[in-house]
Structure 1
Amino acid sequence: MTRVISTTVNNIKTFHITAENALPDKYGDRANRRIGSHAELKNRISFIQEFEFTGSSRQVHISRDCLTVAVSGEYPPQIKIFDLPDLSQTTVFSVRRSPAHFEFLTDDWSKLGALRGDRKFDLYTKGGIFASISLPIRCRNFVYNPPTADVIMSSEDSQLLRLNLELGQFVQSIPACAQNGNCVAVSDVHQLIVCGFDDGQLEFYDPRDKRSLAAVDLGSEVTQVAFNKSGYKVAAGLSTGDVLLFDIRSATPRLRYSHRNDTPINSLAFQNNDKYLLSSDSRGVRIYSLENEGKFYTSFETKSQLNHMIPFPDSGLIFAATDAQKVQTMFIPELGPAPRFASFLENLINDVEAEEQDGTPLYENMKFVTRDELEKYGGGHLVGSSALKPYMHGFFVHRELYKMIVSQNEGTELEDHLKRTRMEKKEEAEKAKIVAQRKAPKKDLGDLEVTENDSKRKAKKKMQMVNDPYYLD
């Protein structure tokens, strides 16, 4: 369960679905009375079930079919897979060491690659770990290029390692101009490779002839790189908190801005058909509008240290891995609509805004019920009315109305139960009655009647004759 908090920067609202522990509704009215009307304890909604770790989360990635989200975290080191249409956890991969980087290798989550800091590259399938490959050189980051089936890794030895998954072996490496590669990216359009190094070099490579095409000195350590959807622009994040946007046809940056926190950039992403550029450091996320000459759009911060963020494609939803136990989720309506699997966020935002206007706490004195539960208690006719607020797979209903519906249904059930009990008791009483056994009239046996003067032998003979059907009328 979570609660919603809104922040406003540059007149753009960001709704934080903040992760906090919730009091289960099973504790009943007594516990709810103790809570009272405290907004931080009352106003809670649930998003993705078990979207958390016992320690912290490190990275979050979304599959290309937009149906799965994977998150790495600790402790113990794990990679959790979540199904977005069902808003629930699918499986958990236990890893020996928290991966430095991982990615989906297919459009769905059937194949996944994870790079560990101990010179190991792990391949996962839906059944678990498939193979663990030893690397000849320590690598820091990798990217998968589907057209060539190459896993391209930035190493610490002036080269880019290439592991071909179709051949199942390492192929010719790409020589680099600098020593330690921090990050690498590849364009889905023209397969151009870009790598950032710790000495400030940003180098481009052609995968066809395995050589360097151009290099740009940015002056500070490059920590993140990313291509846009068209493949003509590339963004680079520096250790100083600066972000530079290049056109691949020019060595002069088209845009440069700073987070002003002197902390390294840990994530870069283009959003909504390259209209926005998102960047994050350990403090928060800044968003710039590229269609408006690179002007500042909005920003937000997280309470815990932010390790990685990724926006859901073509929407205003953003996932963030932080040092908090739960994975953070933010929603910016002006950035884009809510995804189909989280369409309930639109209604939620309207309720939050109504709360801010009239001061009524969100979902105060309301209870969540499923459609089946509503039908069971005879409240199906309320579906579609203002008495119910649709939410996920059910509805929110006022507690007083819920109690009235349940009490009416329980009253009918009580009457049926009492009537059934009376009938059962009546049947048991009828069965328990003692029926008087009437004795048959005594027959006149005449000479066959046993008298006191008869001997035992004679009496026995008379009894046999009495019981003989021949002598019975």
Structure 2
Amino acid sequence: MSGMQLLELNDVRVFNLTAGKALPSWLSEKKRRQLLKRDVDLQRRIELIQDFEMPTAADCIRVSPDGEYIMAAGTYKPRIRCYDLDQMSLKFERHLNCEVVDMAYLSDNYSKQVFLMADRYVEVHASYGYHHRTRTPKNGRSIAYNHETCDLYVGATGPEIYRINLEQGRFLKSWTTQAPAVNKVLINDYYGMLAAGTTLGMVECFDPRARERIGVLDVTRGLSARAQRQLKGQIPAISTMTFMQDNLTLGVGTTGGQVLLYDIRAAEPVLTKDHSYGLPIKRIVHHAASDSVLAADQKVIKIWKRESGEAITAIEADADINDMDMYPDSGMFFVGGEQSKMMIYFVPSLGPAPKWCHYLDSITEELDDGAQPAVYDDYKFVTREELDALGLSSLVGTALLKAHMHGYFIDVRLYNEAKDASNPFAYEEYRQRLIRKKLEEGTESRLQLAKYRKELPKINRALAKRLVEFNENQGQESSGWSHRLYSPHSHCIVSGAKPHVALNLLFSSVGHSRKHCSSCR
């Protein structure tokens, strides 16, 4: 089937349900029917959800709490689309004045929603359409809704967390963080606690029943030494967060591509994973049925076990990823990216197909052709020369190295440890070289100006400078003009020095009538 692509990575089967052809949206109904009759691939495609796409790109995608609807926001023009999963089709579409930055459900279904817009507005929508909008003092970056107190929290480009009480219809006193901006706000529905991820790599926690901050978590302390060296002194900001099913585990994603799991009762991370791409983490989702974690950055979605961190599989999307959401209690998740199609992936090893498309279980069992070769996630390819340089030649023939082509696959953790052990001062030496280079560049420019300010002529000064440097490099110090090119008389070459051919060209190129003094004749 052309509409379903099977990828087998690390012995885990992943089905891409949107890999087939799509009908152009600008075609008329008559031309669509004609094209369907002629094209066999279009006839065999699987369109799981009708019109599950955006004109240009999808920015946000969310599954409703009751699991019956999907709300997506995209461009261009800015719009939101709601899909009814029972009917597997588009329910309604609304156009907006600006792009959606973040969104949240106020009810279990699509009837009440709130959207954070890029023009500083917060819009509340009902089942009949637009209801109300209000403007925040600064541009918002993330929103979270507390169902217990009816408070809407807005993290923005400033240190404040704005609180809007939707029951009273007014702003409450804002909470203030220690950072210049707040990237992510997240509410723990069980404890009523708000976690705010800031640009300083801190997670600050607030309780609506308390007036002050109740706790601060420094994420930069939990990064490995190698990750801190790769950041080169920069502080990684918090890009996304999520609370796991037990409500005690907090997943934190950074702009440097690291995912850290914390027990909210401890300051040190329980587990740390690195995507190794250096790209910000877009979304973290906990799959409770299999107790696994899905973490997405711009290029890849990595799935690994929550307890051990063992990699399950990695999925490279067809386009850059903007957002992702998982359908609860199933192996299906939805991805919005920089393409018109919104991608749908199904991993049977994580869970069964949702009840509204239960037939996928029987279809996927029959599809076992076209699988790609297995890849080694969290492994690095090295040659024999690199093994010798790292001092790991003794591992050849053991289970720690997997022979492949002209080299070996080695666990990336062992590789990093060996590399750090072989040269533990590599980063410090690189830093010293960089500082020395910057200082030499500044000193050299000042010295060259002082050196050539009096010796070079006003005409064709750059060419004369290159000639002097060329003769100095060649060691021609015997010629008198290499030390003193010109006499105080700008029209006369230094007496006693034989004129150079290049200097003759220098004067002739500017139309000078070269005159010699008595000693030059």
TM-score, with structure 2 as normaliser: 0.64
CA deviation after TM superposition for structure 1 residue 245, in Å: 0.4
Q: Which residue of 1 aligns with 2:141?
A: 140
Pair 227,132 (structure 1): closer, same or farther in 2 beyond 3 Å: same
CA contact (8 A) 1:4 1:43 kept: no
- Measure how far apart 1:138 and its partner are: 2.3
> CA separation in 2, counterparts of 1:144 and 1:316?
27
Structure 1 match to 2:422: none
Larger strand share, 1 or 2: 1
Corresponding position of 1:94: 95
1:91-119: CA deviation from partner (whole Å, max 9, x where unpaired): 11211111110111111110110011211
Q: Report whether the alignment pairs 1:284 with 2:284.
A: no
CA distance, structure 2, for counterparts of residue 251 and residue 174 of structure 1: 22
Q: CA deviation at 1:155?
A: 2.1
Q: Do 2:114 and 2:124's aligned partners in 1 also have CA atoms closer than 8 Å?
A: yes
- Equivalent residue, structure 2, for 1:320: 335
| Superposed CA offset, 1:126-168 (max 9, x none) | 1111011111232211101101111011122222111011111
Give the Cα separation in 2 of the matches to 1:320 and 1:128: 25
Match for residue 258 of structure 2? 242
Q: Give me the whole-angstrom Cα distance separating, in 2, the residues matched to 1:78 and 1:202.
A: 32
Look up the match of 2:241.
Answer: 225
1:214 and 1:299 mapped to 2: Cα distance?
34
What residue number does 2:119 align with? 118
Alignment RMSD, CA only? 2.0
In the alignment, is residue 105 of structure 1 matched against residue 106 of structure 2?
Answer: yes
Q: How far does residue 11 in structure 1 lie from its aligned partner after superposition?
A: 1.2
Q: For 1:296-321, what per-residue CA distance to the aligned partner results, in whole angstroms no more than 9, with x for missing partners?
A: 12110111101111110111001000
The aligned residue for residue 18 of structure 1 is 18
Shift of 1:192: 1.2
Determine which structure has more spread, i.e. the larger CA radius of gyration.
1
For residues 16-415 of structure 1, the aligned pairs below 5 Å read 16-22=16-22, 26-27=33-34, 31-32=38-39, 35=40, 43-219=44-220, 220-273=236-289, 275-291=291-307, 293-353=308-368, 355=369
Q: Give structure 1 regions of 4+ aligned residues with deviation exceeding 6 angstroms.
A: none
Match for 1:200: what amino acid? Answer: G
1:44-96: CA deviation from partner (whole Å, max 9, x where unpaired): 11110111111111110011111110001111101100001110111112111
Between the aligned partners of 2:351 and 2:291, the Cα distance in structure 1 is 11
* Aligned equivalent of 2:7: 7
The one-letter amino acid of 2:88's match is L
Letter matched to residue 260 of structure 1: S
Aligned length: 349
> For 1:222 and 1:167, how far apart are their aligned partners in 2?
31
Shift of 1:26: 3.5
Per the TM alignment, residue 19 of structure 1 is displaced from its structure 2 partner at its CA by 4.5
Residue 274 to residue 150, structure 1, CA distance change in 2 (3 Å): farther
Any gaps of 5 or more consecutive residues in structure 1? 358-473
CA distance in 1, matches of 2:155, 2:139: 9
Gap change, CA 1:203 and 1:113, over 3 Å in 2: same
Change (3 A) 1:212 1:339: same
Partner Cα separation in structure 2 for residue 108 and residue 324 of structure 1: 27
Name the SS for the 1:18 alignment partner: coil
Q: What is the DSSP-based 3-state SS (H/G/I as helix, E as strand, rest coil) of the residue aligned with 1:51?
A: coil
In 2 relative to 1, CA 59–19 (structure 1 residues): closer, same or farther, beyond 3 Å?
farther
